[in-house]
């Protein structure tokens, strides 16, 4: 096997270089470094005459149709369950969003070639997407870049080069979803990427492909050469360059299924129980019925957090009440009695501003989430009506994100009650969803007792909570060392929230990395007094 061959590397002089990284797809990969240049030739600006505009737009439309054909082929080929949803988003970007009309407008207004228009408009779109406050939305900027590169290739650009083979560890700047699907055919050992987050579509696909991936590795080309032996630790997040024989032996013995939660197994009664007999209720965070069905087979019970802003990706604009009703009803039907908890729109003002293109210097602390729902109530009221309608004969609950204190709960309950009364008066059948609050900012931790007394359940949003408690941007690799999920302030805050839920005798859901880490799970168990 390749791992054994590596241990005989004559360059093994007993020294190695270890680089911290962010693990986004678990597993261990050992192989030879292969650099892939994902940057095609940059488009060149060509001026065109007014008479040539129509023919240039026809070129663009032919590229769109060609790209759609490629996407359909990718989504229909044997692939991970989420591939169809992900490439469905790519189809919607081409067919239903404002991307192509804006590119056409760029061609007409500036009299430029299609390639240049694609470059300018896609850069603007991806920049706007990347600046979104919610990581689950900002990570999707790669989808826009992916679609743009596909269009450029269809217009005559050079296709990407092949992968590095089954003994390779591929090194890329950014990993596009469609590129990942192509690379996976060569069965590489692992991938190292400079950019990319846990919630990007590429990371989701990699996890389903069981392909180890780490990101956040800067300037690796200065430290490693093509052909160097390398170990990718996608469990603890590390890259080991020119590893010693001892390291190769150590990591070769580690299976890709190491960890507490991989040892959980559904019992005969459908419950998930650890080997020492402790029952753990595991819910999945997803917006796709297909992914839930897969998670259910592995022991998940219901959806703990449905990120409703994902509907924006599907529609390309703010979804109507009926579009939301259809989406919520579909996901509720998939979960059945296990239920789904729908988080109301956790988006920033820039994502709802349309042509106004509102940009904030610090969107994480700006007009977003519940603050935006209270400021521009039309969006929130539309969503609440859709949820109330979908909850009829379905088990659906509501989660309110970024709650700052109990006053937010009072104001939001008033709006919900008003919309419930309107629908009832109109003779519309509605359900009675429970109401929960996300605890993810310090003020909510401090006032958790008061919040808990006025809701039906709490959700502890640990990813944002760590970020706000420690004043560390979780997407900024330069301060990654300060993002410490086991910081005493984090553990004490968890204890405060657990105590508040216990005192009010209401359920508490744990979301984020705490829910998926064996070490942090132990911290939560301690906070519960177990």
Residue 23 backbone dihedrals phi, psi, to 5 degrees: -80, 120
In 293-349, the DSSP E strands lie at: 303-307, 340-343
* Bridge partners (DSSP) listed for residue 47: 112
Pairwise CA distance, residues 145 & 151, whole Å: 10
Q: What residues contact residue 458 under an 8 Å CB cut-off, 6+ apart?
A: 436, 437, 439, 448, 451, 452, 497, 500, 501, 506, 507, 508, 509
Residue 511 appears among annotated catalytic residues: yes
Residue 361 appears among annotated catalytic residues: no
Catalytic residue among 90, 136, 459, 511: 511
In the sheet with 238-241, reading across from the earlier edge strand, the strands are: 17-20, 238-241, 229-233, 28-35, 168-172, 190-193, 213-215, 22-25
Pairwise CA distance, residues 298 & 256, whole Å: 16
Catalytic residue among 66, 201, 459, 487: 201
Per-residue buried b or exposed e for 38-66, using 16+ beta carbons within 10 Å of the residue's own CB: beeeebeeeebeeeebeebbebbeebbee
Residue 516 backbone dihedrals phi, psi, to 5 degrees: -115, 5
Pairwise CA distance, residues 506 & 280, whole Å: 17
The catalytic site residues sit at 201, 511
């Amino acid at each position: 096997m390749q791992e054994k061959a590596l241990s005989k590397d004559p360059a093994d002089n007993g020294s190695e270089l270890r680089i911290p990284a962010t693990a986004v797809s678990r597993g261990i990969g050992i192989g030879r470094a292969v650099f892939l240049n994902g940057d095609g030739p940059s488009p060149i600006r060509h001026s065109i005459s007014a008479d040539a505009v129509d023919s240039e737009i026809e070129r663009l439309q032919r590229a769109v149709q060609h790209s759609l054909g490629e996407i359909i082929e990718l989504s229909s080929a044997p692939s991970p369950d989420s591939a169809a949803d992900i490439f469905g988003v790519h189809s919607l970007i081409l067919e239903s969003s404002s991307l192509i009309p804006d590119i056409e407008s760029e061609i007409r207004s500036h009299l430029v070639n299609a390639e240049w228009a694609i470059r300018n408009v896609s850069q603007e779109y991806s920049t706007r997407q990347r600046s979104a406050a919610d990581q689950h939305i900002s990570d999707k900027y790669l989808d826009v870049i992916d679609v743009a590169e596909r269009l450029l290739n269809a217009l005559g650009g050079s296709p990407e080069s092949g992968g590095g083979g089954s003994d390779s560890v591929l090194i890329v700047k950014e990993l596009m979803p469609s590129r990942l699907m192509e690379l996976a055919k060569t069965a590489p050992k692992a991938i190292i990427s400079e950019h990319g987050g846990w919630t990007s579509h590429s990371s989701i696909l990699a996890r389903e492909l069981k392909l180890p991936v780490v990101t956040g590795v800067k300037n690796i080309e200065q430290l490693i050469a093509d052909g160097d032996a390398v170990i990718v630790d996608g469990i603890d997040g590390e890259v080991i360059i020119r590893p010693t024989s001892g390291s190769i032996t150590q990591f070769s013995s580690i299976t890709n299924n190491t960890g507490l939660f991989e040892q959980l197994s559904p019992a005969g009664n459908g419950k998930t129980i650890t080997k020492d007999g402790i029952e753990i209720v595991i819910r999945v965070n997803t917006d796709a019925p297909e992914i839930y069905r897969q998670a259910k087979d592995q022991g998940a019970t219901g959806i703990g957090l449905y990120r409703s802003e994902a509907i924006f990706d599907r529609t390309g604009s703010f979804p109507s009440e009926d579009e939301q009703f259809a989406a919520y009803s579909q996901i509720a039907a998939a979960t059945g009695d296990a239920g789904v908890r729908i988080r109301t729109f956790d988006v920033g003002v820039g994502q709802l501003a349309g042509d106004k293109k509102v940009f904030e210097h610090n969107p994480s602390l700006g007009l977003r989430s519940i603050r935006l729902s209270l400021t521009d109530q039309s969006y929130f009221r539309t969503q609440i009506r859709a949820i109330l309608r979908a909850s009829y004969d379905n088990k659906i609950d509501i989660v309110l994100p970024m709650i700052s204190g109990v006053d937010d709960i009072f104001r939001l309950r008033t709006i919900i009650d008003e919309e419930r009364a309107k629908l009832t008066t109109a003779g519309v059948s509605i359900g009675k969803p429970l109401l929960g609050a996300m605890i993810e900012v310090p003020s909510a931790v401090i006032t958790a007792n008061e919040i808990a007394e006025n809701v039906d359940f709490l959700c502890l949003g640990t990813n944002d909570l760590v970020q706000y408690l420690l004043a560390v941007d979780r997407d900024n690799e330069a301060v990654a060392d300060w993002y410490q999920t086991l910081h005493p302030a984090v553990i004490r805050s968890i204890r405060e929230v657990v105590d508040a839920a216990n005192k009010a005798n209401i359920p508490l859901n744990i979301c984020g990395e705490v829910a998926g880490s064996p070490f942090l799970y132990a911290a939560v168990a301690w906070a519960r007094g177990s």
